[in-house]
Amino acid sequence: MTPLLEVRNLVKIFPSRDGNHPMRAVDGVSLALRKGSTLGIVGESGSGKSTLARLVLRLIDPTSGSIHFDGEDLLALDGRRLRGRRRDMQIVFQDPYASLDPRMTIESIIAEPLVIHRIGDRSERRRRVVDLLQLVGLDPSAASRYPHEFSGGQRQRIGVARALALEPKLLVLDEPVSALDVSIQSQVLNLLLDLKARLGLSYIFISHDLSVVEHLSDEIAVMYLGRIIERGPADTLLRYPRHPYTQALVSAILDADPAAKRERILLREDQTGSGNIPAGCRFHPRCNFAMDVCRKVMPTPTSLPDGSEVECFLYGPEAMPSRPAPTSGSREFLLLGKNT
């Protein structure tokens, strides 16, 4: 089966103001999304995850690489045909306060995509808005009100309703719950789970919060400075993180459960704050395991038997035999940083 979305070797370079320091925001990313599944993309600020989301929807154009959606080359489409394709792919943004126009009623916000794509007449659109409001758990009376009358969680539901108006196949969720309180966050996550099951949607779920990503995703990709440095089935990735960066991320998940206390891996800080991409492995300046090769050569993805893939010399064919790869099944790997 062809994947719903297939991205190959995608690169996005933003020019810098002085022209001398181009920013490689996305630096050779490949991924595939199966129909009906959720791909989680996790990374910290500057990892390129939001740029990747915009590239995938062609909201911005890549410097190089290819994007196929439902078998069609997205980059080959002209403006009109691209607009037609966009019906199938929608995005929900992080900030429910900034992404809804305060001067528009909820009805016109949700119906706007229908108007743009010239779908239905006025009364049909009105009926569709009511359906969508009910679908996301809001009262139909919301239609005549304005965004400021709603709480953050309700606004995010409105954002989801707008994204679903055109019955897309793919929903890109860019930090959809990060601005919400814990008790509201779980309501919205449940809604997303329900909608996916009911409508057979596929999701790309982007977040800095690994525990939220894990909950929704079938597969997770970890980004660091523009590259996917590890990917794998969600539960495998959380239980057996391979890349030293993923291991640190997993260890940094805070759990209020005192019984779940675990050893934390502390990474070196990028004390420069410059955002420059180092030579060799881009993670090596912060890595507790960095070897000579890591400073000079960029690692390529190594496939592992359980379906994971990792870009790290600890696992590649070049891996030094004297250094055991931290793949232990228990949480012991978390302590490796201290022993070596």
Partner 1 sequence: MSVEPLLSVERLSVGFNTETGPVRITEEVSFDVPRASAVGLVGESGCGKSVTAQTIMRLLPAPPSRIDGGRIVFEGNDLLLLSESQMQGIRGDRIGMIFQEPMTSLNPTMRVEEQILESLRLHRRMSARAARPLAADILRKVGIASPEHRLRQYPHELSGGLRQRVMIAIALVCGPRLLIADEPTTALDVTIQAQILELLKSLQRTMELSILLISHDLGVIAEICRTIVVMYAGTIVERGSATEVLANPLHPYTAGLIAASPRRARKGDRLSTIPGSVPAPGTEPIGCRFARRCPRALPTCHTSIPRLVELRAGHDAACWNPLP
277 near 294, Cβ under 8 Å? no
Vertex 214 angle, CA 213 and 217, to 5° = 80
Q: Which is nearer to partner 1, 119 or 184 (CB)?
A: 184
Contact region with partner 1 (CB under 8 A), list: 105-113, 120-128, 148-156, 302-310: 148-156
Using the rule CB under 8 A, which residue among 104, 135, 270, 319 binds partner 1?
270
Interactions with partner 1, residue window 78-137 (CB under 8 A): none
264 touching partner 1, by CB under 8 A: yes
Least Å distance, CB 73 to partner 1, is 33
Nearest CA to 253 out of 190, 298, 210 is that of: 210
Give the contact letters, 157-196, x = binds to partner 1 (CB under 8 A), - = no. ------------------------xxxxxxx-xx--xx--
Residues 115 and 196: their CA atoms lie apart, in Å, by: 25
Pairing of strands 219-224, 227-233: antiparallel
Residues 6 or more apart whose Cβ sits within 8 Å of residue 72: 85
Of 68 and 155, the one with the shorter C-beta distance to partner 1 is: 155
Decide: is 212 part of the binding site for partner 1 (CB under 8 A). yes
Q: How many CB atoms lie within 10 A of CB 253?
A: 14
Of 6, 44, 95, 131, the one binding partner 1 (CB under 8 A) is: 44
> Does residue 327 sit in helix, strand or coil?
coil
Residue 246 corresponds to which amino acid?
A: T
Tell me whether residue 329 is exposed, middle or buried, using C-beta atoms within 10 angstroms of its C-beta: 0 to 12, 13 to 18, 19 or more. exposed
Two tokens at 149? Answer: 């009358």
Q: How many CB atoms lie within 10 A of CB 340?
A: 10
Token reading at 330: 């228990």
Looking only at residues 240 through 259 of this chain, which bind partner 1 when binding is defined by CB under 8 A? 248-249, 251-259
The region of 24-32, 265-273, 297-305, 310-318 touching partner 1 under the rule CB under 8 A is 265-273
Candidates 71, 79, 273, 329; binder of partner 1 (CB under 8 A) is: 273
CA distances (Å), origin 5, targets 8, 204, 260, 331:
10, 10, 37, 34
Residue (117 or 208) nearer to partner 1, CB = 208
User: What single DSSP character describes residue 265?
Assistant: P
Helix ranges, 200-303 (H):
210-216, 234-239, 244-251, 292-296
Q: How far is the CB of 106 from partner 1 (least distance, A)?
A: 17
Q: Tell me which stretch binds partner 1 (CB under 8 A): 72-80, 210-218, 306-314, 331-339.
A: 210-218
Among 9, 141, 144, 151, binds partner 1 (CB under 8 A): 151
Residue 255 Cβ vs partner 1, minimum distance, rounded to whole Å: 5
> With respect to partner 1, which residue has the nearer C-beta, 57 or 229?
229
Q: Which residues would be at the binding site for partner 1 (CB under 8 A)? A: 44-45, 151, 153-154, 181-187, 189-190, 193-194, 208-212, 214-216, 234-235, 248-249, 251-259, 264-267, 269-273
